[in-house]
Amino acid sequence: STGIRQNGELNIGVDEDALLICSRNLVNVPGFPANQKISNSIYTVPRADLYTVSPTLTNMSRFENLSLTTHGDYIRPASSIEQSDNKATFLSSGANAITGASTGENYIINVSNVKQFGATMATPVKIDFDPSKNFTWDFNYGNGATAPLARQPHPLGIFIKANSPQVVNNVVDIRGSLWFAHTIRLEWLSGDVSVAVAWYEVNKDRNELMQGGVITMPSTVMFPNAFEWDVYNPSIAVNKYGIVSI
């Protein structure tokens, strides 16, 4: 943190080579709205430096003040149990540089030489994220639109604010794929709107969506006896056999 920038909303990942840290940077000066997003930062720390008698951050690499326009927002490190390759992968969600609102796009950011000081970052690459190329859904998802309030089993009908549509939780890097999930605004053909979870597998070398799906409670319009509950704010785990838990 500095007198101008606050490093907040830290997110941590790890692979065989490095500890991976991301932060969202917020303005802390008079005249700006409270917690106004201005940029993001990425830090990589060689794991070998943390396993010594006196752990050190001397070889930490810093990529600070990354632009929302070029690098997106909500940058998340991809955790991996794969063998060492001296690389790290990050996922970011597109954001408006002024408002921080989601653009419905996602990017892969690759960082090399993370086992030593002087890691290098490649230019972010947009994921080919057209679901119609790989599978068909019987509804539209909001293309970055903010989800409505989430319904819950509460006797007074109190709703919960759902997360923004960006990927804000963990990302898994395994067998050449990135796996992640996020909250979406789900628009049924019946006209009903609810909160749901979408999950994806993306080939990180081709930047291509491989498969995906949606987890949701049934629509009460289409199924009148369904519970009026929503699912949101997911996390995801994947093992080497391709078994996924959300």
User: Who wins on pLDDT, 207 or 134?
Assistant: 207
Q: What angle do CA 108, 114, 118 make, to 5 degrees?
A: 105
Q: Using one digit for the tens of pLDDT, what is the confidence trace for 163-213? A: 666 777 899 999 999 999 888 877 777 677 778 888 889 998 888 888 888
Give dist(CA 59, CA 50) in Å, integer: 10
CA distances from 198 to 10, 111, 129, 179, 246 (A): 23, 27, 13, 11, 10
* pTM given for the model: 0.83
The share of the chain scoring above pLDDT 70, in percent, equals 75
pLDDT confidence band for 141 (50 / 70 / 90): very low
The share of the chain scoring above pLDDT 90, in percent, equals 35
Residue with tokens 């597998």: 201
**What's the pLDDT at 119?**
97
Give the pair of three-digit tokens for residue 52.
Answer: 């010594």
Report CA torsion sign: 13, 15, 237, 195.
positive
**What's the pLDDT at 22?**
93
Q: Residue 139's closest CA among 182, 198, 181?
A: 198
Q: Which residues pair with 22 in a beta bridge?
A: 11, 42
| pLDDT exceeds cutoff 70 at 76 | yes
**What's the pLDDT at 62?**
95
